[in-house]
Chains A and B, each alone.
Chain A
């Protein structure tokens, strides 16, 4: 048998027909599928607006001490200008517990002394201060809840997918049961149960949101692991005799985790929304803590005269909507990219 010789001759035509694609360092690091997800996210105008909004809120959170210098020891306590119940309008004079004057203040407002830029809520809590420091609260709760639910989801989902059979069946029925329960009502109950035990703080609501928020991730990661498990490289690893736990953690999980990871990181908007809802219903932090939902909850006592006090709803409401919208815009683009029907189109 003669060895087949490599085709020789001029193959520029072939090269032109199939132009070689340059593979950058980022793409090599992420792998082609994940790279497609990342570039897809950066392409649509909607998701770019989303990223800009998220970036804006990150800046506000990072520079909170510069934007609204803290008064007293605990920066998360909104400074009170007196104790009167009635909200004060925007631009009214700030008499007690004034923050220091930051460098931007005179240039932006043209005033020498602090005023209540966006007015005060019931109990003379400054709305502007609460909104700025509330951004940190939002990110904190968002991150804690998302990371925890993600980890629980990953663990439950991988166990379910990897062992299969009866284990899978039992775990998935438990997931079904949790999904049957109405989310906001159960979170409300959980927070109400925990508040006397732990005390009024962020923690009861955080635990409540974690307890009833992990099921989605477990389902998604389970599905992704089941499909990765069938790939050839897993079979190869099994043939070579790699331990099952090592196959799961070193070979299957890293290849299946990326979509869930991105979805989880974008869920921060939803988490902050549910958290604000709990605060609004009167479950959550102690009065005066910088938290958007709580500032909004003050307005419940002023429903009949909101035409005068509209600023106690509109400003904290606007910032909450923009925050959630930032994550949703990116999340929407994400869903399009992850949609299996879009695969193969770049």
Chain B
């Protein structure tokens, strides 16, 4: 197990290097004026200022040197403060949102986390349940239904599905509004009578004992959760079904049946736990994908997470900001992939031995 973990840890710097290199490569499409947003808040006003910034932050130096400066930042000779440096969490300034990129992330990441937290349960539970049922009743009606369901699911673009549920549940019936909270909730938070322990609205509501706030948050999150689940169910059903079918063909399942075990026990105690192993990876990656901010879903439902911020910045062509989100996302993904892989090693002994 130790060698397996060490091997995976050795991969982290390689991934980190590759991911930052690709993002840094994209920065090279920009001129020095746009790139100066990495270090200074305002647009440089005249040529002299531009020259000064280029010289101060080395924007005319060789590319490898700029890459290093971009990673760890520049020491200001006067004050001795570090400026820039994405590895320290300084992603530059968002000139379209007029605040540092890291502040946008700090404000919005809790919202994304809140949404991800509640989307995971229906996504996993229903997807896996349906996949297992489809495999157990192979070619039966539930299998065919699951198949149709998953084809429709993979063909429905997220934003079309999102807009359709908005027409039905919001525009027509006014049940589930877009956004994050009603006006009275934001007033309550603003008034200071609502303590923000974790910044996750649903958790805070429960900690404050305010069930009405919790229900309001849920009402706003219902449609995004529905959309995210629906889009992901298709993949889960397909993978669970094929993994389950494969497991049901194994000799130990035949043995269990030959011993005279009840079919229910064969499936629930022998087949399903083994089929779950290959689904763990998929589940891990889906959760990680949710954490990275779901760009389209958050945009459709006007949910203030980091995905929506990234989409806004991109449509305003504020590239430095979007690249900041990309670095943040890349760091999350690398760490989370490591965790998923290590967990996988614990669950499945075959992985760590091979």
Partner of B171, one of A186, A307, A321: A307
A264 to chain B, nearest CB (A): 17
Partner of A189, one of B164, B170, B246, B319: B319
Number of interface residues of A (CB under 8 A): 51
B51 within 8 A of partner (CB): no
B 297-319 to A, binary, CB cutoff 8 A, 1 in contact else 0: 00110100001001101110111
Q: Which residues of B contact A167 (CB under 8 A)?
A: none
Q: Which residues of A contact B166 (CB under 8 A)?
A: 303, 306
B154 within 8 A of partner (CB): yes
A280 within 8 A of partner (CB): yes
Tell me whether A185 and B329 are in contact in the complex, defined as CB-CB below 8 angstroms, given that A192-B322, A193-B29, A282-B315 are known contacts. yes
Q: Is there an interface contact between B19 and A180, defined as CB atoms closer than 8 Å?
A: yes
Q: Which residues of B contact A306 (CB under 8 A)?
A: 163, 166-167, 170-171
A310 to B160, CA, bound (A): 12
A 304-341 to B, binary, CB cutoff 8 A, 1 in contact else 0: 11111010011001001100110011001000000001
Q: Is there an interface contact between A328 and B154, defined as CB atoms closer than 8 Å?
A: yes
Q: Is there an interface contact between B157 and A185, defined as CB atoms closer than 8 Å?
A: no
Q: Is there an interface contact between B164 and A317, defined as CB atoms closer than 8 Å?
A: yes
Of the four ranges (under 10, 10 to 19, 20 to 34, 35 or more), the interface on chain B belongs to: 35 or more
A195 to B18, CA, bound (A): 24
Q: Is there an interface contact between B317 and A196, defined as CB atoms closer than 8 Å?
A: yes
Q: Is there an interface contact between A329 and B314, defined as CB atoms closer than 8 Å?
A: no
A329 to B147, CA, bound (A): 10
Q: Which residues of B contact A190 (CB under 8 A)?
A: 26
Partner of B333, one of A180, A299, A320: A180
Q: Is there an interface contact between A296 and B160, defined as CB atoms closer than 8 Å?
A: yes
A288 to chain B, nearest CB (A): 17
Q: Which residue of A lies closest to B144 (CB)?
A: A46
A229 to chain B, nearest CB (A): 22
Q: Which residues of A contact B310 (CB under 8 A)?
A: 185, 188
Chain A contact residues, majority secondary structure: helix
Q: Is there an interface contact between A277 and B333, defined as CB atoms closer than 8 Å?
A: no
Q: Which residues of A contact B302 (CB under 8 A)?
A: 303
Q: Is there an interface contact between B317 and A192, defined as CB atoms closer than 8 Å?
A: yes
Q: Is there an interface contact between A189 and B171, defined as CB atoms closer than 8 Å?
A: no
Partner of A307, one of B159, B167, B333: B167
A195 to B318, CA, bound (A): 11
A281 within 8 A of partner (CB): yes
Most buried by B among A177, A192, A305, A341: A192
B 9-32 to A, binary, CB cutoff 8 A, 1 in contact else 0: 000001100110011001001100
Q: Is there an interface contact between B30 and A324, defined as CB atoms closer than 8 Å?
A: no
A281 to B299, CA, bound (A): 8
Q: Is there an interface contact between B292 and A194, defined as CB atoms closer than 8 Å?
A: no
Q: Which residues of A contact B326 (CB under 8 A)?
A: 181, 185-186, 189
A113 within 8 A of partner (CB): no
A320 to B158, CA, bound (A): 11
16 CB < 8 A contacts A-B = A176-B15, A180-B19, A182-B289, A184-B296, A185-B329, A193-B29, A197-B29, A276-B157, A280-B159, A283-B315, A296-B159, A305-B171, A306-B167, A321-B160, A324-B154, A325-B155
